[in-house]
Amino acid sequence: MKTIQAYRFALDLTPGQERDVLAHAGAARVAHNWALAKVKAVMDQRTAERSYGVPHEALTPSLSWSLAGLRKAWNAAKPGVAPWWDEVSKEAFNTGLDALARGLKNWADSRKGARAGRPVRFPRFKSRRRTTPSVRFTTGAIRVEPDRMHVVLPRLGRLKLHESARKLARRLDNGTARIMSATVRRDGGRWHVSFTVEVERAERAPARPQSVVGVDVGIKHLAVLSTGELVDNPRHLVAAQQRMRSLGRALSRKTGPDRRTARRASKRWERAAARLGRAHARVANLRRDGLHKLTTRLSREHSMIVVEHLNVAGMLANRRLARHIADAGFAEIRRQLAYKTGWNNGQLLLADRWYPSSKTCSGCGTVKTKLALSEREYTCEACGLVIDRDRNASLNLAALAAEFDTAGSGPVAARGADQKTRVRGQVATKREPGTASAGQTGTVPPQGRTTNHVLAKAH
């Protein structure tokens, strides 16, 4: 199975190498800003000519927004715009032009309704001080040295790695991987190189081929599994909050930049900002490491994983819980499970956003009208079941796998109530298209208890 995978390594650059990388990142920014100014000038000129009544045939010729069109315009103008263009790799200019081409395409598709999600605004100019330095190489000498502690990139030469690249080197030596591009980027005060690699992955099977697990993510516990396992939430951001506040107060006492008076930041402010940035980067790295370990273990053990399609953007509107929700990384868990289950020949099912996993009794299928967030224990008034709220939700998610087997492939369809939920008794679930033949009506059977669920009932 061929797939696209990234390998990311930290770099230990010398001062001279760091200047060379910054020069390449600056060249990418120059090309991006020049092309954006050219596109805006042509658009404004054509708009003005239309207002004067100039016919369409006589308008100023439009500039192509594709990467090839922007590159052609840049190659014609670069001797005058950037007389130093031969001091850096051509890939540096290609990086900036490619970013602009993708940004313009996303903006145009968003305006036409061809792109899902939030509206995309028109690309903006990149600032030297606020833009993350980055450059991408797609051609030329890109390789890992035999000692696995150095990489070679075009024009930058031999760069030392902070850690061994043995995992990537083994695949390259075996012929099961091919490097497609390499991106050098400064993140959290450190330089990293990311290799985009086409990998030939061996066919794998989950350790438990018939295992189905429901995963209910939360704040108190990062994940509650239908097997009864509780995954603690490390809360890395909360643990580092005191140090971040101290660093933030120290930063506020320094002389920072001021755009209104064109005042530049002091050296002390820059050092304090770097310390704060490293603290944030450490929290992000700890969170990323924990989520990768969790999702890798789940995808390797279970053949089918059921999670909820949560509205994380809407949940972040709760200012009391926004910080804890962002620290948990709900969306990242689902994103990682999506591709890791494919790597291990598993399946990931997404329960509909409106599916009442917490309000539904995992024993008899009764749906409660309301369930306050403060109620951490679910008590069913119909069958008397008493169970932890998150454990109940995970069992309901796991039970959806049985409906997936009968309904066909794809994510689990919407499951809501046709009418307001009654206080007691089971409620008919939402009618689904395709569940009944023409001229007939039908409903999805109510969810019930499965044989492998061990539940505790109140006596």
Collect all residues with Cβ–Cβ distance below 8 Å to 320 and sequence separation of at least 6. Answer: none
Which residue of the set 390, 403, 405, 432 is catalytic? 390
Whole-angstrom CA distances from 129 to 72, 264, 292 are 28, 10, 32
Cβ atoms 427, 372 nearer than 8 A: no
- Is 390 a residue of the active site? yes
Give the separation between CA 361 and CA 395, rounded to whole angstroms. Answer: 9
Give the separation between CA 119 and CA 235, rounded to whole angstroms. Answer: 32
What stretches of 52-148 show up as alpha helix (H) in DSSP?
67-81, 90-112
Give the separation between CA 363 and CA 389, rounded to whole angstroms. Answer: 13
- Is 216 a residue of the active site? yes
Which residue of the set 20, 91, 98, 308 is catalytic? 308
- Both tokens of residue 126? 């990149």
Give the separation between CA 220 and CA 28, rounded to whole angstroms. Answer: 44
- Both tokens of residue 340? 């890791």
Cβ atoms 11, 193 nearer than 8 A: yes
Which residue of the set 20, 91, 98, 216 is catalytic? 216
Cβ atoms 237, 323 nearer than 8 A: yes
Taking the mean position of all CA atoms in its chain, how far away is CA 198? Answer: 20
- Is 405 a residue of the active site? no
Cβ atoms 312, 325 nearer than 8 A: yes
Starting at the earlier edge strand, list the strands of the sheet with 230-232: 230-232, 221-225, 208-217, 302-308, 347-351
Catalytic residue annotation: 216, 308, 390
